[in-house]
Amino acid sequence: MIRRLMVANRGEIASRVFRTCRALGIETVAVHSDADADLPYVREADLAVRLPGNTPAETYLDVALLLDAARRTGADAIHPGYGFLSENAGFAAAVEDAGLTWVGPTPASIEAMGSKVEAKRIMREAGVPVLEAPAQPTESDLPLIVKASAGGGGRGMRIVRSLDALDREVAAARAEAESAFGDGTVFVEPYVEHGRHVEVQVVGSSVYGDRDCSLQRRHQKVVEEAPAPGLDDAVRTAMHDAARAAAEAIDYRGAGTVEFLLDPATRRFWFLEMNTRLQVEHPVTEAVQGVDLVELQLRVAESDWFMGWGGEPDGHAIEVRLYAEDPAADHAPQSGVLTRFEIPAEDGVRIDAGYESGSEVSTFYDAMLAKVVAHAPTRTAAARRLAGVLSRATIHGVPTNRDQLVAILRDPRFLAGEVSTALLPEVQVPPLDPAWAPVAAALAIAEHDAALRTVQRGIPVGWRNVTSQPQLTLLDDQPVAWWGGRDGYRVDGATVVAASPTAVTLEVDGVRTTYAVVVGDGAVDVDWPGGHAAYARTPRFTDPADAVASGSLLAPMPGTVTAVHVAAGDEVAAGQPVLVLEAMKMQHTVAAPTAGTVTEIGVETGAQVAAGEVLAVVAETVEEEQ
């Protein structure tokens, strides 16, 4: 029997495992880096151990440090969560060699599936269909996809649509895989356009239904659901049988997932990989199957024998991953303080969050903030419930993909079950119409500033003896005009029904709308039924030292410079890579915006940079007129 369990992970998955442990009466131990010291999961554990440092290599990937934390706290079992060392056979073996219970499959099973190349060979011998990689690719084999053999989470993966780009993309994938996994081995296989990612949940060789995980960005899953929609009985049965054969081929124990790529046009499917761990998207299976997969993991770990049976799914469940990222900037990860992070807790909705209001999102780890899951009798009802909860969430301080998730859940193609890996980029987020939000922000600022007065507190806001011009509030460099005085506020085109530092009610054409406003230091957040907008309060005077030179390449997010491809004085073409920035385990190429000359390189390889920092300057080439 497990008495005290340590989770060798962080964030929401640590909280998730602790929740089941509390229900079972198992004591818990958290480990945390310096950056994670104030996150909720650390407080939720019975004991916590600091892992000095911030980077994964010096904290959550340090086997000796983790085993020492278990020894110091008296833990007798370790759960790896997902990511980090969860699929590291050496770590699993080290845990068992230390006399501790490993909550996961055997090291041999992990090793067998750890290399995608070796996994394909085993699956082929077990009769599971696999995609065959061309030995010498030709134009007729395009498009291709480059994958990291030890990869996961979309890292070390590149789509190739031109043979001329193959070598370059292989090199980029190899570098990203080496950085993320310590193994730069990659392979190439055909890329199925508009394919679907369908996966089957197993515990041992028992099947617990299937999921669809086709909606992805950067080859990372964003929306998952169970059961997979639109599968006919023959395909579903064949997939379940193939997953069972895969598990039996490696004598699998515990929870795992067999992933398949499905071609909807031909109904053919192929083995992609087997994840020898708990999946991020496991909550949708728990919702429709009525099981606790973490509890099943613990039961398997406590006993060498386990037999279970998955039943028919009850209703439908959809999960979305809420990321700190900017979809408009190619999903660039974002960091900073979540000044407000509130998602409504409603019936049929589950929230697995790793952050709370006041938490800081660092640049060292994955950008996922939370998973939000809705369960309902039908798929349409689940999508509507989930979209409603997300639209009512209050998220301030860090840009997120919330609006994109709502747009996906309300898209007619998604609701019709037309899911594929190509759908998400095609979904357009409706343009935000802030309408009267800037006015609400300006009036709330006026009320906020008035409340801070120490003199002349009895004078109405905006009072003037002779009103000849409106008051102007600069938001994002744009002026917002309003009048104030003894009779209250006045704005053109609307009636100000009420105004306070936290809420403003406006009436336009007989319709009243209340705007919730949070006035912060230099920023204002406005929430209303139509969406959310954040504004910067523009100072009246700008320090010339804050200006940047024309042609400056600014860091799109905080991160580490991993490569510099040019030097001062070099001529560059538009779109030519200048340097590579790594943030949140992803590599981002910073390219020249125009053809020109590199006049300045402000960083070197290994440098830590902040968002908005000048990385380089490219002076545009201007051709002289004849």
3-state class (DSSP) for residue 550: coil
* Higher-scoring residue by pLDDT: 372, 577: 372
- Per the CB < 8 A criterion, the answer to whether 555 and 615 are in contact is yes
Taking the C-alpha atoms of residue 221 and residue 489, their distance in angstroms, rounded to an integer, is 48
| Mean pLDDT of the region 248-268 | 95
Confidence at 591, pLDDT banded by 50, 70, 90: confident
List C-alpha distances in Å: 614 to 230, 326, 547, 564: 49, 20, 11, 14
Which of 161-165, 348-352, 510-514 is predicted with the least confidence, judged by mean pLDDT?
161-165
544 pLDDT higher than 80 = no
Tell me 494's DSSP state. Answer: B
Taking the C-alpha atoms of residue 354 and residue 324, their distance in angstroms, rounded to an integer, is 12
Instruction: State the pLDDT at residue 457.
Output: 62
3-state class (DSSP) for residue 189: strand
Which of 91-95, 186-190, 358-362 is predicted with the least confidence, judged by mean pLDDT?
186-190
Say which residues have a Cβ less than 8 Å from residue 241's Cβ, sequence separation at least 6: none
Q: What is the mean pLDDT of the chain?
A: 90
Taking the C-alpha atoms of residue 154 and residue 148, their distance in angstroms, rounded to an integer, is 9
pLDDT in tens, 443-486: 999 999 888 876 666 666 766 665 678 999 999 989 999 998 88
Instruction: State the pLDDT at residue 328.
Output: 86
| Mean pLDDT of the region 302-307 | 79
SS3 string, 449-485, reads HHHCCCCCCCCCCCCCCCCCCCEEEEECCEEEEEECC
3-state helix, strand, coil in the chain (%, to 5): 25, 30, 40
| Mean pLDDT of the region 609-616 | 82
b/e burial code for range 441-454 (CB count within 10 A of at least 16 → b) = bbbbbbbbebeeee
* Higher-scoring residue by pLDDT: 175, 40: 40
Tell me 437's DSSP state. Answer: H
SS3 string, 307-319, reads CCCCCCCCCEEEE
Instruction: State the pLDDT at residue 345.
Output: 92
Instruction: State the pLDDT at residue 623.
Output: 60
Confidence at 626, pLDDT banded by 50, 70, 90: very low
Phi/psi-derived region of residue 119, left when phi > 0, alpha when psi is between -120 and 50, beta in every other case: alpha
509 pLDDT higher than 80 = yes
| Mean pLDDT of the region 543-550 | 60
Task: Name the strand (E) or helix (H) holding 372.
Answer: strand 368-376
Structure tokens of 301?
A: 């770990």
Confidence at 379, pLDDT banded by 50, 70, 90: very high
- Percent of the chain scored above 90 by pLDDT? 65
Supply the pTM of this predicted model.
0.85
3-state class (DSSP) for residue 587: strand
Confidence at 116, pLDDT banded by 50, 70, 90: confident
CA-based angle 443:446:449, to the nearest 5? 150
The residue length of the chain stands at 626
Q: What backbone phi and psi angles, to 5 degrees, belong to 418? A: -85, 65
List C-alpha distances in Å: 172 to 115, 184, 588, 603: 19, 10, 11, 21
pLDDT in tens, 211-243: 999 999 888 899 999 999 999 999 999 999 999
One-letter amino acid at 117 equals V
362 pLDDT higher than 50 = yes
Instruction: State the pLDDT at residue 152.
Output: 65
- Structural domains in the chain? 4-103 (3.40.50.20), 132-190 (3.30.1490.20), 196-426 (3.30.470.20), 437-529 (no CATH), 545-620 (2.40.50.100)
495 pLDDT higher than 70 = yes
| Mean pLDDT of the region 583-598 | 80
30 pLDDT higher than 90 = yes
Torsion, CA 594, CA 596, CA 599, CA 603, rounded to 10: 40
- Per the CB < 8 A criterion, the answer to whether 107 and 89 are in contact is yes
Which of 279-288, 321-330, 351-360 is predicted with the least confidence, judged by mean pLDDT?
321-330
Structure tokens of 179?
A: 């950085």
Q: Cβ atoms within 10 A of the Cβ of 334, count?
A: 24
Say which residues have a Cβ less than 8 Å from residue 277's Cβ, sequence separation at least 6: 80, 81, 82, 86, 87, 104, 255, 256
SS3 string, 116-175, reads HHHHHHHHHHCCCCECCCCCCCCHHHCCEEEEECCCCCCCCCEEECCHHHHHHHHHHHHH
Taking the C-alpha atoms of residue 595 and residue 608, their distance in angstroms, rounded to an integer, is 27
Taking the C-alpha atoms of residue 11 and residue 81, their distance in angstroms, rounded to an integer, is 10
Instruction: State the pLDDT at residue 33.
Output: 98
Taking the C-alpha atoms of residue 224 and residue 282, their distance in angstroms, rounded to an integer, is 9
624 pLDDT higher than 70 = no
List C-alpha distances in Å: 214 to 219, 225, 273, 549: 9, 9, 15, 43
* Higher-scoring residue by pLDDT: 10, 330: 10
**Nearest alpha-carbon partner for 258 in 51, 109, 42:** 109
Instruction: State the pLDDT at residue 558.
Output: 76
